[in-house]
Homo-oligomer: A and B are copies of this chain.
Amino acid sequence: MPSILVATIPTLCAECPLRHTSICRVLGQGDAAKLEAARGRQFSLRAKRLLLREGDTPNEVFRVLSGWGARFRVLANGSRQILSFDLPGDFLTPELLCGEPARFSKMALTSMTLCAFPRERTANEVFGDPEKANFIERLLVRRIRDSEDRIMMLGRLPAAGRIAGLVLDIHRRLSRRGMAAGSEFEFPLRHEDLADALGLTPAHVSRTLAALRQNKLLEIHSARAVILDREGLQKLAS
């Protein structure tokens, strides 16, 4: 076991760039002190560590401050299906607010920093107020939409289209958070992660990415992605 670890200096909510968005806006309502009071611990997680195991009923929910994660399930035959990726700023596990056991695991893909919120207190806070409940409602509806987009991709698109769709989706999510410089952005996913999300094998992901690069559509190099031809990708992902 290697020596550890960054003694993280917790970010104060008052100084957090994310405090006006997502769950933090809902819980803080513009008041940093109130938000700080709602928040639990803040902590880091190294790559490949599990944040949550299928069947767990965690007593915290989270917000991602930095780093990428994956939500996945493992089949009987041992293969992994990634259901979604967790990006910086995401509020994690709205579906676990009610205290049901998780139907999925969550793993850090890069090292991550997370803010934790006590589950039960947060649930009470949120479901006690129709307007706040509406926020969760929207999150759930968005997750349905995203799942169904994925179903479309898996059911009806060839490998190149699936990759195009996923990359565009991630780019859109990062852009909205100001985390993409135009068409270029961080992209720490390994081929194996892409494969497990898209129903492919790492080898075929490699070949397909090579083809996309050759056709001047998309470049992925050393944990960065560059969209060269948005139109073209969009067409592939119809």
Contact = CB atoms under 8 A, between A and B. Distances in A.
A209 B76 CA distance: 22
Interface stretch (A145-153, A169-177, A179-187): A145-153
Contact of A148 (B104, B141, B196): B104
B77 A238 contact: yes
Contacts of A79: 156
Contacts of A127: 130, 134
Main DSSP-derived SS at the A contact region: helix
Contact residues on A (Cβ < 8 Å of other chain), bracket: 35 or more
A81 B235 CA distance: 17
B148 A103 contact: yes
Interface string A191-208: 000001111000000000
Q: Which of A134, A235, A238 has the most CB of B within 10 A?
A: A238
Contacts of A104: 148
Interface string A135-172: 01100110111011011101111000000000000000
Nearest to A133: B133
Contacts of A199: 154-156
A73 interface: yes
Interface string A65-86: 0000000010111010101000
B133 A140 contact: no
A219 interface: no
